[in-house]
Amino acid sequence: METFTDENEGTPRFDSENFVRTETISLRNHFTTLMSDATAPIFRLVLTGGPCAGKTTAMTIIEERMRTRGFRTFIVPEAASLLISGGFMFGDISTDERRKGFQACLLRTQLSLEETFYNLAKVCGQPSLVVCDRGVMDGSAYMPRNLWLEMLGENHWNEIELRDQRYDAVLHLVTAADGARDFYTLENHESRHESAEEAIGMDRRLRTSWLGHPRLRVIDNRSGFNDKMNRVISIVCNLVGLPQIPEVSRKFLVQGDFSMLGATSGFIQEFDVDQTILVVNRDGVDESVRRRGSGGVFSYVHRQRRTGSNGKVLEIKRGINEREYLTLLQHADPHRKTLRMKRRCFLYSDTYYVLDEIKNIFPPLSLLRTQTESIGTELDLPPFVEVEEEVTNLEDYSVMNLSTLVAPQRKFEYETRLLANHNFLTKGAESL
């Protein structure tokens, strides 16, 4: 799977009424790039969320808008609804073993449905979007974690492969019960019976179940339903590289002891990440590979970044296997080191944060990242992380710069800070 990000191309303020009026030339160039390989691109997207979150409406809007932009859209039906409509009743799973058995059947059904629709997209030979009405991790929100992990182990599945390698993005739509309670209703859902409080609890368990996916987006109810749908479309366009309001990757230099972060932030996912810059003999192109995982299970990504003569940047990310990763690793840039980091992913105030602690550079540092709609978007930064400064768009903190074997400016600043502290302590001791 590949994801494409055109970093410099945007549109004026997003307006759902004129959203479909795009420039033909821009789209033609975009699809020429996408179709440069032998096969048309296929993107897999999960739509999830609590009761009365707007998933059904979002799927309809995605299908309509993406069709006008040249994309085939395939909707993978919710597996649980199929099983229930076929005769399954929750009263059938009164024991832990039966619950595990049901979740295993549900997961196999989900996997089969997703592969079927993905293969249909391949057959059609057009740029396509496969939208999953819930994904394989949703089942973990409906059973104790120990039972979920037992069920995965018994079937030789693991969360890294299920969560991180299958989908290009996960969109979590927050239930209307959380932030728009006046609009929370179960009138059109005969199988739903949750109170507002129960819906909020379910919504948060579903969010947690996807924690750790590299492209999880939480879409809340802060500014009305129409704006919520507009944000969904904007994120989908960002995913496939169509003109849209570009997301901004905000980056903060932070400090502290993060070993006990889970005790203060709640549930977190931790990963070991290796990022390596490759040698490329083409102007305007840089490449890297990334290994990310935990417990000995890893996912691998190859990234290629192209800068055109007009200054526009096209970034292509492709999931690869271990063998491809090891082959590409033979082309590692000898003038740069592999960045080794401890990555911690967590949710705070409905915002998804990624904290990277990079220890094999001098001086070591930690960076907190998140995605916002603009550089001016106000953020409720987590109070348990001490933020030194925002370093968004500062090249000193890019992977390319941090991976240099010698970073004189950062080394000089670090040594200057150490010397200042030493002089301060020495002067204090002399005055005693």
What is the per-residue pLDDT across 374-426, written as a single tens digit (0 to 9) for each?
777 888 898 888 999 999 989 899 888 999 865 545 555 555 655 665 565 55
Contacts of 366 (CB under 8 A, 6+ apart): 253, 254, 255, 256, 258, 355, 356, 357, 358
| pLDDT computed for residue 412 by the predictor | 52
Residues 233 and 256 placed together within one structural domain of the fold: no
| pLDDT computed for residue 197 by the predictor | 93
Q: Element (H or E) spanning 229, and its range?
A: helix 225-240
Residues 107 and 199 placed together within one structural domain of the fold: yes
End-of-domain residue from the set 244, 279, 312: 244
Residues 174 and 238 placed together within one structural domain of the fold: yes
Residues 12 and 89 placed together within one structural domain of the fold: yes
End-of-domain residue from the set 223, 244, 265: 244
**pLDDT higher at 318 or 365:** 365
Residues 256 and 167 placed together within one structural domain of the fold: no
Share of the chain above pLDDT 70, in %: 79
Counting the structural domains of the chain, the total is 2
User: Nearest CA to 344 among 242, 245, 265, 249?
Assistant: 265
Q: Lowest-confidence range among 11-25, 129-143, 223-237, 349-363?
A: 11-25
User: Nearest CA to 294 among 205, 399, 212?
Assistant: 212
**pLDDT higher at 424 or 197:** 197
Residues 206 and 157 placed together within one structural domain of the fold: yes
13-66 pLDDT, tens digit per residue, is: 333 333 333 333 344 344 444 444 447 889 999 999 999 999 989 999 999 888
| pLDDT computed for residue 35 by the predictor | 44
Q: Enter the DSSP assignment of 11.
A: -
Q: Lowest-confidence range among 12-21, 45-54, 187-196, 359-368?
A: 12-21
Amino acid type, 237 = C
End-of-domain residue from the set 185, 212, 244: 244
What's the first-to-final CA gap in the chain, in angstroms?
65
Residue 226, classed as helix, strand or coil, is: helix
Residue 428 lies in a domain: no
Question: How far is residue 176's CA from residue 349's CA, in Å, rounded to a whole number?
Answer: 16
Range of 66's domain? 2-244
| pLDDT computed for residue 34 by the predictor | 45
Residue 427 lies in a domain: no
Residue 420 lies in a domain: no
Per-residue pLDDT band at 311 (split at 50, 70, 90): low
Residues 282 and 170 placed together within one structural domain of the fold: no
| pLDDT winner (highest mean) among 81-85, 145-149, 160-164, 191-195 | 145-149
Residues 213 and 350 placed together within one structural domain of the fold: no
Residue 416 lies in a domain: no
| pLDDT computed for residue 219 by the predictor | 94
Our CA dihedral for 170, 172, 173, 175, rounded to 10 degrees, sits at 160
Residues 166 and 285 placed together within one structural domain of the fold: no
Per-residue pLDDT band at 192 (split at 50, 70, 90): low
pLDDT of 354 higher than 80: yes
Residue 423 lies in a domain: no
Residues 301 and 175 placed together within one structural domain of the fold: no
| pLDDT computed for residue 20 by the predictor | 32
| pLDDT computed for residue 374 by the predictor | 77
**pLDDT higher at 259 or 123:** 123
**pLDDT higher at 225 or 424:** 225
Per-residue pLDDT band at 308 (split at 50, 70, 90): low
Looking up residue 65, the CATH number of its domain turns out to be 3.40.50.300
**Per-residue DSSP letters for 383-403?**
TTSEEEEE-TT-GGGSHHHHT
Residue 424 lies in a domain: no
Find the mean pLDDT for residues 314-318: 73
Residue 421 lies in a domain: no
Find the mean pLDDT for residues 233-241: 87
Residues 388 and 281 placed together within one structural domain of the fold: yes
Average pLDDT, the chain: 82
Per-residue pLDDT band at 369 (split at 50, 70, 90): very high
Looking up residue 282, the CATH number of its domain turns out to be 2.40.320.10
Residue 344 lies in a domain: yes
Rounded (5°) CA angle 100-101-102: 90
Residues 383 and 300 placed together within one structural domain of the fold: yes
Question: How far is residue 27's CA from residue 32's CA, in Å, rounded to a whole number?
Answer: 8
Residue 405, classed as helix, strand or coil, is: coil
| pLDDT computed for residue 36 by the predictor | 43
| pLDDT computed for residue 427 by the predictor | 57
Share of the chain above pLDDT 90, in %: 49
